[in-house]
Structure 1
Amino acid sequence: MIIMKKLSRNQLLGLFILSIGFIAAGVIGRVLSSYVTTMLGFTISAFLFIYLGLVLRSDKENPEILTTPVLWFLRFLSIAFGIFILGVFIPFWRDFPEYINKEYIELEGYPTYVDYELGGWSRYEEPELHVTIEGKELYLEIYPENPEELYDKYFTIQYLPETEWIISLDMK
């Protein structure tokens, strides 16, 4: 049962900060290539944003803080953002049984096409490497000095079907 009581300003602020914290956990999970951290971080933040939208109420002591149109707009934004995050991460939940049972798709062979784009003008923009093996294009988080040498490497890649999350990568 969902608790629908009126929360204080501090509780609402704490709930919002907790939601942002779980988004940060999802982003950190993506950077660290942690499938479970990414999936749980974003999913929990989505549910927290939806809950925040449901329990957001105006303060009777200070009604000018949240006027009715502003309150409804904030509630709508919070719920819509939570639903959007859930929608984006549905493929993660579809891949979860394969991840738990270690039923990965395995792809082996020499690349037929290597697309390597250097990072953009921003120093924070990383290069992108897309490799096509047996007609399947996958994004890899490796940064070779000479991408042309990848044509001579034999790849063994295990990945999840929906998200194409790379579980293991071996190059010989």
Structure 2
Amino acid sequence: NSDYCSFEKLRSQVISDDGRTISAHQDIRYNERVRAIQSVETGIHNWDVIIESPSTSDWVGVCGEGDVINFSCGDYNSKVWILGSTGHVSNNAHQRPYGTPQFGRNTKVTVHLNMYDRTLAFSVNDVRYPPVLEWKNLPSKVYPLVSMRHNGRFRISRHN
């Protein structure tokens, strides 16, 4: 019963049996990225990422097809649309402040994905921020994505 809120192990993460809680090992040096098993191609979708234990670099958002797991992958930055723990959004190596507070323990980040308009917006602790207007390049198929460093622990669920 996989859906876009279930994640699969791709490298050295610890993922719960239901695929909805993700932890990073203590010994990793760089961000670990995990994408959902199921892609999203149509419709309006919202999901929550609870930062149960923040790391020094947490990111939440979506990615396109291709290799987004390999840290040194040259096209990684062009295939992710993400909000970081510092309150910046990033795509294609362009980062800018988004206006959200920094992530802390038990921060709830809600991802608002509209595949009809190909827009992406975020809420942090139930305060909704506008879509990232310069992101005109969302592909027709995306996957929910999270990224964290050591000691990070996230829980993912559908937004109610």
Output the TM-score relative to the length of structure 2.
0.22
Going by fraction, where is strand more abundant, 1 or 2? 2
Q: Which has the higher contact order (CA 8 A, sep 6+)?
A: 2
Output the TM-score relative to the length of structure 1.
0.21
Quick check: which has more Rg, 1 or 2? Answer: 1
